[in-house]
Amino acid sequence: MVINLDNFQALGISAKLSAALKSQGITEPTPVQERVIPIVLNKRDVIAQAQTGTGKTFAFVLPILEMINPQKGDIQALILTPTRELALQITAEVKKMLKSVEGVNVLAVYGGQDVVQQMRKLKGGRQIVVATPGRLLDHLRRETLTLSKVAMLVLDEADQMLHMGFLSDVEEILHKIPSKRQTMLFSATMPQQIKKLVAKYMRSPEEIRIKGTQITLDEIKQIVVETTDRAKQATLFALLDQHRPYLALIFCRTKLRAIKLNSELQENGYDSDELHGDLSQGKREQVMKRFREAKLQFLVATDVAARGLDVEGVTHIYNYDIPHDAESYIHRIGRTGRAGGEGIAVTLVAPKDQRYLELIEKGIKATLKKSRTESQQDKKPAGEKKTVQDDKDKNPRFKRGVKTEKTSTPRKSTGKTNTTRTSNAKTNTTQKDTIKKDRFKAKPTSWAKAGKKGHGTKGQQKTSRSR
């Protein structure tokens, strides 16, 4: 029987850490935190099957901070993640809490970063290391760090590490850690290879399963837009003009499609950039910084690059390419509707995508609303983009980032006869100004809604569902 506890202190978390959570607007534990934290504090192994957005990060970070020994400079807790973005995100959450814990240090270890700099930081003593498997093995082989004192191990997004080919690396790392350790495994799915890993390396683990589909259905408005491969790009542009998101993630199946779509978006006057595996670490961090600060409105990403991203203020998710299974779909759309806010997820579906749509609907146990959108192919090119200052004047929510005006290339004609959009313009108004006015004259309802929820504003009250 699961007992509903009132707060984090009732779960065994100290008053200092509870106060630190409260300062972030987090007062009530999520179901995964409620069930996992007491088990971890009792030093038991645990397997938690939970979707993104359920608060699993704090489910292992909080008990680790309770059990860490600040007097010892050895690595006592190791958190393995599949991507550098997730490693950086977890490290940021730990650092927020370390303001209430004296003498404890954390370091993110990931590829694309200066190895010498990481070695220097490791010499200073780090009780908690958050790492990707490849770079951690690099340090182990260089003998620049040792895991002989690790007492707590977290395998986060275990199924994704399997999909990315890290399973053999993880096993090699496990052989470097004392067998008498506490292991915590978090995974959205539990494929056979993960089960074998559990049987081989974990000691009588407590199994917990948290259903995440209720969060998905309740907090995110999901829409399917029927289109064709030929009209997909024009349909996306029409939706962006109609919805006018505050921040939006656009998912593509491959990095080549992400690169191509981002190029088309930029040519047509949209404030966009791309995120995929071919980018250097410096470029990735630069892109994410601009996106988090709302200096970038649209981010075109692949699944691997965006895995685990938690960006405040994302109001819309667009599946430009439909995911091929329900789990990937849930992970994608889980990037919005966070911190108790509302989100919109739009999936573009061509006739050949129907079987994937059926798999997704079966997986989430829901029938998604279908709609058709008038294609931009039947409209006049959108012309130049309006300035961000106009957005600021009309919508006070656009104050997170400071942008500069850019001159954009008019949209290319699709070859079909265009209809005029200048019916409401004055006689002496230029075509460019008329199109700009028409495209942005409607009130941005999605921004208005987001504003009520506090997206993109400083000092907003968060809930634990954002972690």
pLDDT reading at 384 higher than 50 = no
pLDDT reading at 245 higher than 60 = yes
What's the pLDDT tens digit per position in 321-348?
998 877 778 878 888 876 566 789 999 9
As a whole number of angstroms, the distance between CA 347 and CA 81 comes to 28
pLDDT reading at 213 higher than 80 = no
What's the pLDDT tens digit per position in 189-199?
888 889 999 99
Residues in the chain: 467
pLDDT band at 124 (very low <50, low <70, confident <90, very high): low
State how far Cα 144 lies from the chain centre: 31
Strands 182-187 and 152-155: parallel
Using the CB atoms, write b or e for 351-381: b if 16+ within 10 Å. Answer: eebeebbebbbeebeeebeeeebebbbebbb
For the chain, which residues make up each domain, given as ranges? 9-211, 214-453
Q: Tokens at residue 272, please?
A: 């966009």
228 or 459, which is more confident: 228
- Residue range 74-102: average pLDDT? 90
4 or 329, which is more confident: 329
pLDDT reading at 138 higher than 50 = yes
How high is the pLDDT of residue 55? 83
pLDDT reading at 263 higher than 80 = yes
- Order the strands of the 316-319 sheet from edge to edge: 272-275, 298-301, 248-251, 316-319, 343-349, 220-226, 369-371
Residue 53 Ramachandran class (φ > 0 left, ψ -120 to 50 alpha, else beta): left
Sign of CA dihedral 433, 434, 435, 441: positive
User: Which of 187-191, 295-299, 388-392 is predicted with the least confidence, judged by mean pLDDT?
Assistant: 388-392
Dihedral (C-alpha) 428, 239, 289, 132: value to the nearest 10 degrees? -160
Q: Measuring CA to CA, which residue among 185, 175, 181 is closest to residue 67?
A: 181
How high is the pLDDT of residue 425? 38
How high is the pLDDT of residue 340? 60
As a whole number of angstroms, the distance between CA 180 and CA 203 comes to 9
How high is the pLDDT of residue 236? 96
pLDDT band at 53 (very low <50, low <70, confident <90, very high): low
Q: Count CA within 13 A, CB hemisphere, residue 207.
A: 7
Q: Mean pLDDT across the chain, nearest whole number?
A: 78
Contact 345, 314 (CB under 8 A): no
382 or 204, which is more confident: 204
Q: Measuring CA to CA, which residue among 249, 454, 212, 237 is closest to residue 342?
A: 454
As a whole number of angstroms, the distance between CA 95 and CA 78 comes to 15
What's the pLDDT tens digit per position in 394-448?
444 433 333 434 444 444 444 444 443 333 434 344 443 443 334 443 334 444 4
pLDDT band at 223 (very low <50, low <70, confident <90, very high): very high
User: Which of 40-49, 105-114, 246-255, 369-378 is predicted with the least confidence, judged by mean pLDDT?
Assistant: 369-378
Fold equal for 9-211 and 214-453: yes
84 or 398, which is more confident: 84
Q: Which CATH number fits domain 214-453: 3.40.50.300, 3.30.930.10, 1.10.150.20, 3.40.50.2300?
A: 3.40.50.300
450 or 98, which is more confident: 98
9-211: CATH superfamily:
P-loop containing nucleotide triphosphate hydrolases (3.40.50.300)
Q: Measuring CA to CA, which residue among 181, 168, 204, 161 is closest to residue 47?
A: 204
User: Which of 141-145, 183-187, 277-281 is predicted with the least confidence, judged by mean pLDDT?
Assistant: 277-281
How high is the pLDDT of residue 398? 39
What's the pLDDT tens digit per position in 344-366?
999 999 999 998 998 888 878 88
